[in-house]
Chains A and B, each alone.
Chain A
Amino acid sequence: MSGAQGGSLQNVLSISTAANNRYLLHFNSYSSLTQWTAGIRLAMFEHATLQEAYTGSLIAGKGRFLNNIKMIMERSRFTHEDWARVRFGAGTPWKRCWCVVSPPDEKEYQKSQKTLKKSAYDREVKMPKGNIKFYDTRKVTKKTKPIATITDAYAAYAIYPQSKPLIDQSTLVKLEGLVTIHDSTETTTEGFVFVMPEVHAAVSGFEMLLRWLFPVYDTFALYGRPSRLIADTLDQRGLMFALPSDRRYGYLDTLDVSNLIHAPGSSNWSERQWRREMKKMTSERMSTYRENGLGSLRQLSQRRNTVSRTSLPGNKGGVRFDDGSDNSAPPSRTISPLPKNSGFTPPKRTDSAPPAQNGYTPHKRSASEAHDYRKYMAETPSRLSYEQSRPAEDDLPPPPPRHGVPMGSLPMRPAGGPGGLERIQSEAEVPTIGNVYNDMHAQAASTPSLLLPVASPPAFQHNPGARPANSPMAPPELRRAHSNVDAATLYQMQDAARGQRTPEEEYANEQSNQGNRVISSQTPNCEKYT
């Protein structure tokens, strides 16, 4: 029953999270494993696409108030270089890097534009792409070896910082693509980095964010750039894709994702492929709704046990990107069919049940609670105390994946920030001099296939679909403490927004040994921060 036949264990899900943490989950059946995997994938997918839509909404809602938005949105033809705080994987230390965004070669770009004009479908034209390099010095010569290079990014979006004051201040971006670590052996893996461009004096964080994002979009031909941003909520390439007009978000359910898990070959999909396939499936759902109208909606609602929803609005979504041009969608909005294979039986909902009965938000809280930023800020100190008192077994730094590269092990920079700083996450961030590259390499090279043997699991004492007698529910504020931007990141936001630095600081990296310095592994003083 436990799948523990012979010398091996089945129905196991490996989850890599913050820093190097890895958890193994063992389920009592393949069906249960599939449902949980699908549920987690769906949550992660909706999280990522919502951050993209948040980015698009920010640009649409606030971009037009920037005086030089037109200049910012001009196609970038030259390298864009500046200091940024960079985290190579979640839960790893932040590092100050000289970040060089190089758009594709201008000749290649012109060539692609010519091809584009001849082609009826712009999707058929492969856009040239540039790259982003991170250095630990700004004195970059041809011989300077970067720490890391990002190529072929497939997503880049602002992270919603969950507090109103931080929205204007934050430059935090997640960039997903291919990450090359320049060690003695170069290692390229699919992964992501967090980047926080440093803010210039008298410039808002939001403007700095856009000044960095647009060159990045142009460099990787993302979201419709380097021509205009796609505002169409039906276009899978756009930032606003699948943003509904009614109140409920999300077109997929766990069963849909289970079907993808059963699709041939999906066990080898990269995260990029998962994102693409889930967007395709979302697109198919949306078109089904549009074509079949309310009838299909009711059917689907029954199947999903969700509240009814109204059909989609027109395709403009009411969002305008203020780039001085109209928002007409590219003509190529093809809705790609899902892999339709009938070789598998759709999973049944018999095991640990998705909580569909309750609708999608069983944890009812008034929306105002989350939007009451003052309240959030007031809670912040207790949030930190929660974190500090958490059991050691718990996952310390909030968000984090594994394909990233830990830049751990760097000497600490002298505390330059506000007073009252304490260090948390010390284990993850305590520097060990000299092994940056080893650490990065070790993490990039480790894969879930390299699993150590485990003890035989005990028998299941509970039916996977059962519920405990006392119906536990995590207090929302505790949960939020773990979904929020972590303390080390808050500190960086504050520090990166300090504006102009002294010359000593400006060149601090050059003066240090090999320039390898941890920016800080210190917590912010939240009272000061608010």
Chain B
Amino acid sequence: MQTYQPQQMDVSQDTPPELAPIFSYLNSHSNKLYQEGYFLKLHDLDSRGRPSSERIWVECFAQLVGTVLSLWDAAALDAAGEDGEVVPTFINLSDASLKMVSQLLRDNHSSL
């Protein structure tokens, strides 16, 4: 901490100096872009653990900033063009659990 140089920030006077660095790191983390790109997303289970009503694949452009995943509908982005605006949806991943799935069965009866 000896070499720490505070950023330009408004830390109020009663903030102990010990806390300044961690506030700065927490702030950077929440604005750090970890990954971005296109993938297909399917909302599998809803908040009650039941199969979601939207179990369909949607192509998304996504950005992971901090632990928040922002998702834009890829088709909507294309339709909106350069000046259009598409409202993203968000998924907080700070308490998520992950599993890479090696084989996922396809339901051939409902294939697109």
A residues sitting closer than 8 Å to B (CB atoms) are 4, 7-10, 12-28, 32-33, 35-37, 39-44, 46-47, 50, 53-54, 57-58, 60-62, 90-91, 160, 164, 174, 192, 243-250, 254, 261, 267, 271, 310, 313-314, 317-319, 351-355, 358, 360-368, 370-373, 390-391, 393-404, 406, 408, 425, 427-428, 442-443, 446-448, 451-458, 460-470, 472-474, 476, 478-483
Interfacial chain B residues near A271, Cβ < 8 Å? 97
Interfacial chain A residues near B96, Cβ < 8 Å? 15-17, 40, 44, 400-402
Interfacial chain A residues near B99, Cβ < 8 Å? 13-14, 16, 447-448
Majority-rule SS of A interface residues: loop
Closest to A470 in B: B82
Closest to B30 in A: A483
Inter-chain contact A461/B90, CB cutoff 8 Å? no
Inter-chain contact B44/A50, CB cutoff 8 Å? no
**Bound CA span A358–B51, Å:** 39
Known: A22-B45, A483-B30. A9 touches B90 (CB 8 A): no
Interfacial chain A residues near B75, Cβ < 8 Å? 461
Inter-chain contact B51/A368, CB cutoff 8 Å? no
Known: A17-B91, A21-B46. A40 touches B59 (CB 8 A): no
Interfacial chain B residues near A428, Cβ < 8 Å? 47-48
**CB < 8 Å: which of A37, A47, A399, A457 contacts B29?**
A47
Shortest Cβ distance from A301 into chain B, in angstroms? 16
Inter-chain contact B72/A468, CB cutoff 8 Å? yes
**Bound CA span A408–B49, Å:** 12
Number of B residues with CB within 8 Å of any CB on chain A: 97
**Bound CA span A461–B112, Å:** 15
Shortest Cβ distance from A261 into chain B, in angstroms? 8
**Bound CA span A15–B44, Å:** 9
Inter-chain contact B3/A16, CB cutoff 8 Å? no
CB interface residues, B 27-74, toward A, < 8 Å = 27-51, 54-57, 59, 61, 63-70, 72, 74
Inter-chain contact B18/A479, CB cutoff 8 Å? no
Shortest Cβ distance from B112 into chain A, in angstroms? 6
Interfacial chain B residues near A10, Cβ < 8 Å? 102-104
Interfacial chain B residues near A248, Cβ < 8 Å? 28
